[in-house]
């Protein structure tokens, strides 16, 4: 039973992810493509920086073991390393401080327009239904932030997955057991975060009974 529920939940998440991607594609294709590209860059950059650091360390060891003369190649690697750091900072700034906010505003406008359009198409019997009223209340409270937040979380998953796969492949030449051990070392933390993520989310969730009781007491005292 639990396995069937888990499969149903996974299928529901995948379905929602596809719907969100289609919606964001309709809102602004240019910003969507740029978001995908910058997400890929964000996944690749840590691997490139790590590889450049490895080359610098190898060159430093070679310099120490020889005449101790700093070569032009070493200085070039240092310059390239700092240039990549600067480019990474600029990429993060453009992605998260500009592109993400612009896209969030456009998504909010599109969602508000669609919500208002759906509301205008409802008949009077819909407003007399308590079930429809509950649904309208939920949609009005969360339609401007739930979908953009889900979109950000979805691309963060893509970013993390891309970085993990790239790092795993880079570490294989040093020994196939190294990435396996490093992956296994993160399993306990993943299990704990997965176990208590609902508890952590409930701290900010106003729909749980405890939060409703607190808000009722606060409103009653005021």
The structural domains of the chain, with segments of one domain joined by +, span 2-185
Question: What's the confidence (pLDDT) of residue 76?
Answer: 74
* Rounded average pLDDT per 10-residue block, the chain, 222 residues: 56 80 85 85 80 74 65 72 81 83 85 84 77 79 78 82 82 83 85 73 62 64 56
Question: What's the confidence (pLDDT) of residue 67?
Answer: 59
Question: What's the confidence (pLDDT) of residue 82?
Answer: 80
Question: What's the confidence (pLDDT) of residue 201?
Answer: 65
Distance CA 143, CA 121 (A): 17
Question: What's the confidence (pLDDT) of residue 31?
Answer: 84
Question: What's the confidence (pLDDT) of residue 2?
Answer: 47
> Do residues 56 and 74 touch, judged by C-beta distance below 8 A?
yes
The per-residue DSSP string of 54-99 comes to HHHHHHHHHHHHTT-PPPHHHHHHHHHHHHHHHHHHHHHIIIIIII
């Amino acid at each position: 039973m639990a396995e069937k529920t888990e499969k149903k939940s996974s299928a529901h998440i995948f379905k929602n992810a596809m719907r969100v991607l289609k919606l964001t594609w309709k809102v602004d294709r240019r910003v969507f493509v740029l978001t995908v590209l910058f997400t890929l860059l964000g996944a690749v950059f840590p691997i490139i920086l790590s590889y450049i650091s490895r080359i610098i360390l190898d060159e430093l060891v070679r310099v120490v073991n020889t005449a101790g003369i700093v070569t032009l190649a070493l200085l070039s690697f240092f310059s390239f390393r700092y240039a990549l750091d600067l480019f990474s900072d600029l990429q993060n700034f453009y992605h998260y401080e500009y592109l993400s906010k612009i896209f969030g505003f456009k998504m909010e406008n599109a969602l508000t327009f669609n919500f208002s359009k759906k509301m205008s198409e409802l008949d009077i019997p819909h407003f007399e239904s308590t079930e429809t009223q509950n649904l309208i209340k939920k949609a009005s409270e969360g339609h401007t932030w739930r979908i953009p937040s889900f979109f950000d979380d979805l691309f963060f998953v893509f970013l993390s997955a891309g970085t993990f796969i790239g790092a795993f492949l880079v570490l294989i030449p040093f020994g196939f057991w190294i990435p396996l051990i490093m992956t296994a070392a993160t399993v306990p933390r993943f299990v704990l975060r997965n176990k208590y993520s609902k508890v952590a989310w409930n701290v900010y969730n106003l729909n749980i009974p405890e939060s409703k009781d607190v808000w009722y007491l606060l409103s009653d005292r005021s």
